[in-house]
Amino acid sequence: MINLGNDHHKFADEIKASSGINFNACLHCRTCANGCPFLEGMDYAPNAVIRLVQLGLEETALKCSTIWICVGCNTCSSCCPMAIDIPAVMDGLRHKAIEKGVKIAEPDVLNFHTEVLNTVKKYGRTHKLEIMMRYKLKKMDLFSDMGLGIKMLKKRKLDLTPSKVQDKKAIEKIFNER
């Protein structure tokens, strides 16, 4: 028998508050798992992560790979008979893991997202070439997919120079609100 203690509700309530989602309506029918295109890369199915949160198993939930593997495609939510926004729950868990300084199970995912946000902050839009170059530099893996990068450049899928929004103050406001 798992000893949940008195704090198990506290963690669930924190995630419910940060995500704005009532995940206690989950039927654990696994429909979310059946629809998830990334399930094979996850250590827990989406409904199992929700169960971890419901049980207050904070450490297990925050250290799992699933919260980082989830790309927020909403396939799970669109299939869910209770219409639970599972990506919002995963997002709440990622924020909590960062806030608590938990060792990130998938640091490459976090590094990639950080680079995406950096270009949005800088230009108001993503600049894919810069994102990939910075990401690859951090990993010290500069040449493993160089051929693909050249093909993308030839097909104009990567811009050499970033496009920029004109209203930089609006972008700054968005980043300052967070």
Domain check: are 17 and 83 in the same one? yes
Cα–Cα distance between 32 and 10 in angstroms, integer?
Answer: 25
pLDDT value at residue 178: 60
The residue range of the domain holding 78 is 8-100
* 2 belongs to a structural domain: no
How confident is the prediction for the chain on average, in pLDDT?
88
* 37 belongs to a structural domain: yes
Residues in contact with 25: Cβ distance below 8 Å, sequence separation at least 6, in sequence order = 82, 84
Residues in contact with 174: Cβ distance below 8 Å, sequence separation at least 6, in sequence order = none
Of 75, 100, 125, the residue that ends a domain is 100
Cα–Cα distance between 83 and 145 in angstroms, integer?
Answer: 39
C-alpha triplet 34, 111, 125: angle, nearest 5°? 90
2 has a pLDDT exceeding 70: no
pLDDT tens-digit series, residues 70-125 = 988 899 999 999 999 999 999 999 999 999 999 988 888 888 888 888 899 999 88
Q: Into how many domains does the chain fold?
A: 2
- At 4, the pLDDT band (50, 70, 90 cuts) reads low
- Tell me if the pTM is above 0.85: no
Of 85, 100, 115, the residue that ends a domain is 100
pLDDT value at residue 53: 96
Mean pLDDT, residues 14-42: 93
* 3 belongs to a structural domain: no
Domain check: are 113 and 52 in the same one? no
Domain check: are 92 and 156 in the same one? no
DSSP 105: S
* 1 belongs to a structural domain: no
Cα–Cα distance between 125 and 159 in angstroms, integer?
Answer: 12
pLDDT tens-digit series, residues 33-46 = 998 999 999 999 99
1 has a pLDDT exceeding 50: no
Helix (H, G, I), strand (E, B) or coil at 45: coil
Domain check: are 12 and 92 in the same one? yes
pLDDT value at residue 76: 93
Cα–Cα distance between 81 and 68 in angstroms, integer?
Answer: 24
Of 80, 100, 120, the residue that ends a domain is 100
pLDDT value at residue 129: 85
